[in-house]
Every structure is written in C-alpha cells, then in structure tokens.
A and B are shown apart, each in its own frame.
Chain A
Amino acid sequence: MEVLSRTEELLLLSVWKLQDNAYGLSIRKQFSELIGKDMSVGAVYIPLERLKKKGLLSSWESEPTEKRGGRSKRFYTLTQQGVAALSAVKALQDKAWSGLPELVFKASRG
C-alpha cells in the first residue's frame, strides 16, 4: 500500500469531516483550522487534484450560486479507495502507537 503524506491524510480527513459540504473553500478553511495556519489556494488544490488522480477522491461541479457571483463550486468526496486508505492510515497509526512506553521526557543520568 502506498503511504499517504501527512498533508494528504489531513485533507482526506477534512473532506470526510465536511461530508456533503466538501468543496474548495470549505476544505481550505477546515484544513487551515486543523493545523492552525492559513493555507494558500494552491497548497490545498494541488494535493486535492493529486488525490483525485490517485483515485482516492472524486469531484463534480455544482450549479452556480448567487453568493459566489454565479460561479460553480467544485465538490470533493471520498471514493471507496479513499475510505480504505484512511482506515489503513488509522490502523497503521494505532499499531505504531500501541505497546509503547509512556511518552514523557527523561533527563539523562549523569
């Protein structure tokens, strides 16, 4: 299985979280909020399109809306592969974190 980058993983999560309302602007907002830093349009759309190309996302254009000055929205949704990829990441995460000692800083003895 191909390993997702952190950005890709977080983007997929954002799309999943937004469900039916996952389009360019809302994804960018969700993503920025999640990592606590304002992301540029390119930083969001380029990985989104890459995920689409990998087959993890699909997209469609909506009807134009008044609020957007008559422009369409581009909606994204997770494909079956996308869902599988996310759950694989989750499983890997859990596996990697399980059975570790408690994560605290220990000063070296000397």
Chain B
Amino acid sequence: MSIYKSSSVLNKVLEKILPPALTHLIGDLEEELQENLEIHSAFKAHVLFWFRFVKSVPYLLYESFKWNIIMIFNYLKVAIRNIKKYKVFSAINILGLAASLSVCLLIILFIYDQKSYDRFHEDRDRIYRVTTDFKSQGNLSSHRYATSPANLSEILREEYPSIEEVTIIRRRISGEAGANGKVIRVNGLYTDPGFFDVFSFQMVSGNPETALQYPGSIVLSKETAVKFFGEENPIGKAFNVTGRGDFTITGVVDTDVRTHISFDVLASYSTQLADEEYKSIYIDNWRNSFYSSYTYFKLRERRSVTELTDHFPGLISSKYDATEESYISEFIIQPLSQISMGDTMDNQLGSVMPREPLFFLLGFAGIIIFVACFNYVGLTVARSLSRGKEVGVRKALGANKGSVMKQFLIEASVISICSFVFALALLYYLLPEFNNLQFVRMELSRKVSVDFIQDFEIYIGFIVFTLFVGLIAGLFPALHLSSLKSAVVLKGLENIKGLSRSYIRKALVVVQFAFSVMFVITAIVLNKQFNHLVNSDYGFEQESIIHLELQDVPFDRVKDVLTRNADIESISGTSIVPGLNSRRDRTVTSDFIDYNTRANHFSIDENYLENMKLELIAGRNFSPELGTDLHGPMIVSERTVEQLGFENPLNAIGRYVHFADSIYPVIGVVEDFVSSDVTGEKEAVIIQYQPDWIETASIRVLPGKTTDVFGFIQEEWASLGSIYEVDATVYSEELKGAFSLALFTDMIKMVRVAALFSIMISCLGLFGMAMFNAESRTKEIGIRKVLGAGNKDIVVLLSKEYAVLIGIAIALGIPCTYLLNNLLLQDIANRVVLTPSLFLAGTVITAALAMLTVGSQSIRAALADSVDNLKSE
C-alpha cells in the first residue's frame, strides 16, 4: 500500500492499529479530508478532519474490538485444527514443554513460598536489619555476618531521628526448661520491648509494652505454653531454664506465622543487662558482642536509609581501630524482604534460605526450557513447506504480516496451555521429591514446606509464565513464516532456498545435544564422586560403631550399664563425632612458627583412639593411671605437626602446643583423619584427655551384631534415668547422611532430573525431525530403492546427517562439561579424577539414545514399500 500516500499522520497510524476489515472507514476519512482540502484552507481541513475522527472514535473502538475477538476465535480454531492435524508434532511439543514447565513451576512455587516469609508485618517495607562486614586475620578476607554489635541498638535509638523503633535480638536461650512439673527442651531468644513495636507478632495474652521490660521476664510461644500448661493461663507462673535461671511468664505470643525469626520463648534482654559481669564482657565490648546480637529497626515514613549509612563510617572509626588484625569495616543495612534468599551471611537468625541453590535451580530450569523451546522452533520451521502454503493463501486473501504472526503466536500459546495441564500433573509427582531434598527440609524449618498453595494468584502466575514461554517458543517461527511472500510461496515452494532454514534446525539439534551430553556426564561424574566420598578412607573405622548421645546421663553410668552386653566390644567417649561437620575450631601456635593457626579440638577418654582404629604413629596414648594426663598433654595429628612447624612426628613428642593462654606438651601423634567435613581436607586436630567433657558414647559392637545391640540400647536407656528420649545412631548411616554429603545428594538428584528431562526432550525433538525428514524424502527413497539401493544404504543415507550433528554436539559438550565439573567439584578435597572413561560413558549413552531415535525412523522409511512410496504424492 506504500504507492499511495495519506494526507494525515493519523490515517497512517489508524492503518496500522485497526483491523484490515476497517480500511474502508479510513478511506472515508481520507476522502473527506481530501475534499475539504480543496474547498477550505489546509488548517481548517485538518481541524475538521480531527473533529470527524474524534466523533468516530467510539465506533472505531467498537468495530476493532469486535474484529479482534472474531479473529482470535478464528486463530484459535485454526490452531486447534493444526494441533489435531499434526498429532505427532503436537505431542512432541506438548510433552517436551510440559516436562520443562513442571520444573519451572516448581521453582516459581519455591520462590513464592520463600517470599511469603515475614509478609505479615504491618510496616514490612520500613523494617531493616543491620548486618556487619568483618575483615579478619590480617588477610583482609571479608566476611558478612547477619549480626551487629549489641550496643548499636541503643545508639540507633538515641542518635538517629529517622528511626522510629529499634529492637535487639540476642541468641540464644536454650536448654531444658522446667515449669508446671514438666521438663521440655526449649530454644529461644533474648529481646527488648521494641520487638513488638518493630514486628507485628500478636500477643495472645500479656501486655506487649511491658512483657519484656524487666529482668527475669519471659514470653512463651502459644505452642510452648500449651506444651507446659495445656489450657491453663500461664501468666505469672514460674519458668526455669537450666543454666539461665528463673523467669516469670509475662505473656504468650502467637507464632503461627511464616517468619525467619523462630523461637519457643522470648526472654527479656534486661535479664542479660542485669548480669554486670556478663554485660561487661559480652555486651559492652564492641568486639565480642557482635557475633550473636541482631539489630532490627523500623524507619520513619518517607525517610531514607542513606541518612544512616552516611553516619556509619564515623561511628565505626570511633569504636574500632582499622589497623588491627581483624576489625569491623562496614555496617550494611538489609531490608527485611531481602533476608530470605538474600546475600549469604554467617550467624543467621533461624532458618534462612541462601540464594545459591536457587541459582542452580534457575540455571537447570532455564536450560531445560530452552531445549524444549528449541523443539518447537525446530519442528515448526521444518514444516515451513506445508505451513508456507497456508501462509501464502492467507496473505493472498488479505491477511497482513501482523495477523499471520498473531496466528502462529496463538498456536504456540495453545500448545503451551495444553502442556501446562500435563506440567501440573508432573508437578504433583515432583513436589514430594523436591520437599525431600536436604536443603529444603533443613532450611524451611518446621513449617510446611512448598505445597500446592490454595492462593489464586499463584495459578495466575503459572498461566502468565506458561503463556510467556509459549510466546518465546512461537516468536521465531512466527517471524519466519509471516515474512514469506504470498506470490513467491504459492508459485512453488521447492525452489525457495532456505525456506526450511535447515542450518537453524541443525544448530538447534547441536545445542540440545551438547546440553544433554553435559548433563548426562555430569550426573555420572557426581555419582562417582559421591560413591568415592562414601567409600573413601576417612582415617578411622566407621563400621560396627553405634553412637549414643549422653544428654543428661554421666558417661560412666552408660559404660557400666552397657558393658553387660557381650556383643559390645568396647565403649569410649568423645566430645565431637568426626565427619559430621562438628567443629570446635581453636587457635593454636608453637615456638616454631610466628603466627596463629587453627585446629579442631577433641575431648576423649583413653579408649577412643583404639575404638575408632586411629593409628598412633609416634608417642603414646592417654593413660589415666599416670594421673597427669587429665586436661593436660595433647595428642595431635600429622597435619598439626606440619602446621606447628615440628619437623616430623617423632620430633614433635615433648614439644609444646600454645593453646588457650597455656602450653601443653605433645605426647602422641595420630595419623590424619577426617575430623569435620567428609568432603573437605583432613584438618589439623588436637586431642586432650577430658572424660568429663564427653558428650557422645562411641560403642564398638561385634561384626553383624549392630541391630541386636541397637535394640539393647533402646531398652536399657529407660534404666539410665534420663528425662530425654534415647538418641542413638549407626555411625555408617550417620556419615552417609552427613550434611555436606546430603547437599551433594541434592545436587546429584537435581542434575539427574535435568539430564533425564534434557535428553528426553532432545530425543523427542530428534524423533520428530527424523520422521519429518524421512516423510519428505519418501519419493527419493522410492527411486533409490527401485534403482537398486539396499535397505542399509537408505538407513545410512537418512542417519548420516544426524550422526554428524550429534558428533559436533559431543565435541562441543565435552569441554564445557569438563569446565563445569571442575567448578562443581572444586571445594571437594577428596576428588575423583575426571578420567576419559567417565566422559566416554556419558557420550555413549547420549549418542546411543540419539542414534536409536534416528535409526528407528530411518529403518521404518527404508522398509516401506518402494512402489507405495512412488505412488504417494
């Protein structure tokens, strides 16, 4: 239409936005304008024209609305017809998209769930937390803590007028609590009355103004109150927390809300302030007090946090000396909404989901959704030949580029909505698996984790996302097909070069399989690494060991009772259990080095080394008979010998370890063993003879008697007179469930799903492509066979192209996999070697699946009757 010109910009605009069915209306407007231009001045003509237009707006709106509705229904009808007509292609696209959508929906649910934390606070947009950046140990590596110095809250309250309310929360009041004749373990926090001003926790009974005002006050959560007192009103009753003293209950608070601040009890902060000695060491000292105090504040309305941050550097320099080895370098203000899935920090208050697992999930989901979208793009573009004719006819009948695009986009949306239904069904199976992942179970505390939420908005979110994916998938095919010129397409499709864009299809297949190879190999490598970790030599014997937590029972008593069982070989005790991320890091040094180093501290009895089969390579074991070993000399590990600058284990005997303002002679050296993290290094260890510090009994049983003894311990526990439930575990099981291994298992599970989905979707796509290819070459195959080609030749002919593509994909995928796996495993000390055989295994699996897919279609085409083939048109 460009050969004609419009006299007004408005008409050009209308031409673009109004449906083609209304051109005659624009024509009327244009003609009237032209006539007016002849009889009136240009200005008047245009004024009249605009006047006419304004009067016509209601009608134009009505008509275009009507036409758009009509067209959408038409597009829908055509879309559904096309889906029905090309059943295999539709099924491939719908299944592929459904698989990837289900993963995405899961992540949306997960984010939604995380974002639902702490949304019940009235002024949540104005609530912030002060976090601390701590530079330590002279190496200037900075460390974020969620905590801040205790006295900061006082300063914020008094010196910063832009702050409305401040509260301090201090960890931690925990231990067995006694009240109303019951003893139950509780976990809680210290806080001040500001807690109820900043946050919107509701008190069921008691006065929020005064409940946490005075020393010795305690507020119970509703749950805790019911546990101790049932339906009785607990206000004014006595509440004793072992080691923390007597409290009076001043209130009950409703904790049935989603929040990162979890507690059974809240004790008044003034209780801590009332203890002069404690106060001077742990609160007034700006260096000591920041590890366990949290400062939350509520900003006044329409104030900015920069008013605070501008003053912080001055405050810091008045309290800390930046020339020291370790110091606080910055206070960073963190909005309440960014605590969950926020920056990674140490000493978080309660359960907070870090951001990293989410990045992993997002990465996997992103790749899978692209692999599925590639299927749609590839298959739709491949069908350009048949769809091109349709476009040609539509355009000849007056459709413009926009309406053809709309048609293809709507088709893609219909496909995506179909897959949404399947995705929901898949999600139903994925969800329990996801909730079982260690990081989800651990971080989401005791509340219900991700679930099908009843909220309506999440489903709207799902559908919006689904449509978005549909549009992304449909965009390229829509652009490609709508740009076909009707005259050219209708004349003869075969002559048009690049109509089916074969290079794009090939590139898509390569990318899909490169990702598939990557996931499959990674899954194999991680699996191998996991087995390697589980079966590797930790330096101690883990078989036939049962651990029993002593809790409130003395070690000697446990020993007396259990030695009666003949199946028990020996009993020993330790303060911490190796390999379970237990860590008592201590600073140590010696005369041979001029810096501090760190070592994991164990308190054990004289049988522990023998019991755990820890080999002494120099010196002697602890011996109670000597009478001098108690709380004195040390046994160290080889690693410690090295780090403290002692030349060798033999030389180390008799040398001194500087530790906790005192010096201790080394009497023995043990072989290195994994002392804390099974995925980490065998760290430096110092061991002292301190039977009174034992927390866990380590029981060695005769081989094959584990179950019997386990039952025996359960039975005997009652006779030990503990107020607690028995807590016994089989060590080898415990190690498999160790924290870092569990996280590793999570990763393996996620990569496995990613590998499965990615290869499944890619093969589906390849299947469609090979089928299409074989179909479009039916005649060629017929002629070849008539001229004497064998079935084998046909199969090779049809499969060759794909074999090359898969080859390229593998060649691209392997280096990426190598880099990815090095990255994933970099923090693991005891790493598997990335041998070629691992890569070969993954490559063979992927290639075999791909060729099986292609081969099945090629063979089918080759076996078809050649006469039928030639008849077909």
Residues of A within 8 A of B (CB): 23-25, 28, 40-42, 45-46, 61, 64-74
Task: Tell whether, in the assembled complex, residue B59 and residue A24 are in contact, meaning their CB atoms are under 8 Å apart.
Answer: no
Q: How many residues of B contact A (CB 8 A)?
A: 24
Q: Do B5 and A41 touch across chains, with their CB atoms under 8 A apart?
A: no
Find out whether the CB atom of A42 lies under 8 angstroms from the CB atom of B62. yes
What string of 1s and 0s marks CB contacts (under 8 Å) between B53-83 and chain A? 0011011101000000000000000000000
Binds A, one of B28-36, B271-279, B674-682, B816-824: B28-36
A-contact bits for B8-44, CB 8 A (1 contact / 0 none): 0001000000000001111110111010000000000
Would B32 and A69 count as touching, CB distance under 8 A? no
**A28→B27 CA distance, assembly (Å):** 13
Chain A residues positioned under 8 Å from B6 (CB to CB)? 69
Given A45-B25, A67-B31, A68-B31, 12 more A-B residue pairs with CB atoms under 8 Å apart are A24-B24, A40-B56, A41-B56, A42-B56, A42-B59, A46-B59, A64-B4, A65-B27, A68-B30, A69-B11, A71-B23, A71-B26
With known contacts A46-B59, A61-B24, A25–B4 Cβ distance under 8 A: no
In the complex, the answer to whether A66 meets B4 with C-beta atoms within 8 Å is: yes
Q: Is the CB of B5 within 8 A of A25?
A: no
Contact of A73 among B1, B11, B27 (CB under 8 A): B27
Chain B nearest CB from A58 CB (Å) reads 15
| Known contacts A46-B59, A67-B34, A72-B23: A41-B28 contact under CB 8 Å | yes
CB–CB A74/B24 < 8 A: yes
**Chain A residues, Cβ within 8 Å of B52:** 41
Q: Are A71 and B30 in contact (CB under 8 A)?
A: yes
- B63–chain A nearest beta-carbon distance, Å: 8
Contacts of B26 in A (CB 8 A): 69, 71
CA–CA, A79 to B11, complex, Å?
A: 33
Complex CA gap A24/B52 in Å reads 14
CA distance A69 to B58 in the complex (A): 23
Interface residues of B (CB under 8 A from A): 1, 3-7, 11, 23-28, 30-32, 34, 52, 55-56, 58-60, 62
Contacts A25-B32, A67-B31, A67-B34 given; indicate if A41 touches B25 (C-beta within 8 A): yes
A45-B59, A71-B26 in contact; A25/B1 too (CB < 8 A)? Answer: no
Task: Find B3's partner among A28, A70, A74 (CB 8 Å cutoff).
Answer: A70
Q: Which 9 A-B pairs have the closest CB atoms?
A: A70-B4, A42-B59, A71-B27, A68-B27, A74-B24, A41-B56, A25-B28, A69-B6, A69-B30
The complex places the Cα of A66 from the Cα of B1 at a distance, in Å, of 11
Q: Determine the distance from Cα of A6 to Cα of B790 in the docked complex, in whole angstroms.
A: 82
A73 to B11, CA, bound (A): 15
For A66, what are the chain B residues with a Cβ–Cβ distance below 8 Å? 4
> Which residues of chain A are near B32, meaning CB under 8 Å?
25
User: Which of A24, A46, A64 is close to B25, meaning CB atoms less than 8 Å apart?
Assistant: A24
Task: State in angstroms the CA–CA spacing of A87 and B131 once bound together.
Answer: 90
Q: CA of A71 to CA of B24 in the docked complex: distance in angstroms?
A: 6
Given contacts A25-B32, A42-B62, contact A70 B1 (CB under 8 A): yes
The complex places the Cα of A41 from the Cα of B26 at a distance, in Å, of 11
Q: Is A69 in contact with B28, judged by CB distance below 8 angstroms?
A: no
Least distance between B464 CB and chain A CB atoms (Å): 35
* Chain B contacts for A40, CB-based, 8 A: 55-56, 59
Q: Is the CB of A42 within 8 A of B27?
A: no
Q: Which residues of A have CB within 8 Å of B23? A: 71-72
Kindly provide the distance from the CB of B481 to the nearest chain A CB, expressed in whole angstroms.
Answer: 26
Give me 23 A-to-B residue pairs in the complex whose CB atoms sit less than 8 angstroms apart, sorted by A's number.
Answer: A23-B28, A24-B24, A24-B28, A25-B28, A28-B28, A40-B56, A42-B59, A45-B59, A68-B27, A68-B28, A68-B30, A68-B34, A69-B4, A69-B7, A69-B11, A69-B26, A69-B27, A69-B30, A70-B4, A71-B24, A72-B27, A73-B24, A73-B28
What's the least CB distance linking A25 to chain B, in Å?
4
Given contacts A41-B59, A42-B62, A46-B59, contact A69 B24 (CB under 8 A): no
Nearest-Cβ distance from residue B1 to partner chain A, whole angstroms: 5
State the Cβ distance, B33 to closest chain A Cβ, in Å: 9
A65-B26 Cα distance, complex, nearest whole Å: 12
Interface centre among B11, B24, B26, B52 (most CB of A within 10 A): B24
**Set of chain B residues within 8 Å of A72, measured between Cβ atoms:** 23-24, 27
Measured in the bound complex, the distance between the Cα atoms of B432 and A102 in whole Å is 93
B55: chain A residues at CB < 8 Å are: 40-41
Name which residue of chain B comes closest to A68, CB basis: B27
Chain B residues within an 8 Å CB radius of A73? 24, 27-28
Rounded to whole Å, the gap between the CB of B65 and the closest CB of chain A is: 13
Which chain B residue has the least Cβ–Cβ distance from A38?
B55
B34 contact set on A, CB distance < 8 A: 67-68
Q: Which residues of chain B are near A45, meaning CB under 8 Å?
A: 25, 59
> Which residue of the partner chain B has the closest CB to A62?
B24
Residues of A within 8 A of B25 (CB): 24, 41, 45
Q: CA separation between A51 and B222, bound complex, in Å?
A: 74
Q: Tell me which residues across on chain A come within 8 A of B58, comparing CB atoms.
A: 42
B1: chain A residues within 8 A (beta carbon): 64, 70
Q: In the complex, A90→B10 CA distance in Å? A: 43
Rounded to whole angstroms, the CA-CA distance of A11 and B56 in the bound complex is 18
Partner of B31, one of A25, A42, A46, A61: A25
Closest to B23 in A: A71
> Which residues on B sit within 8 Å (CB–CB) of A41?
25, 28, 52, 55-56, 59-60
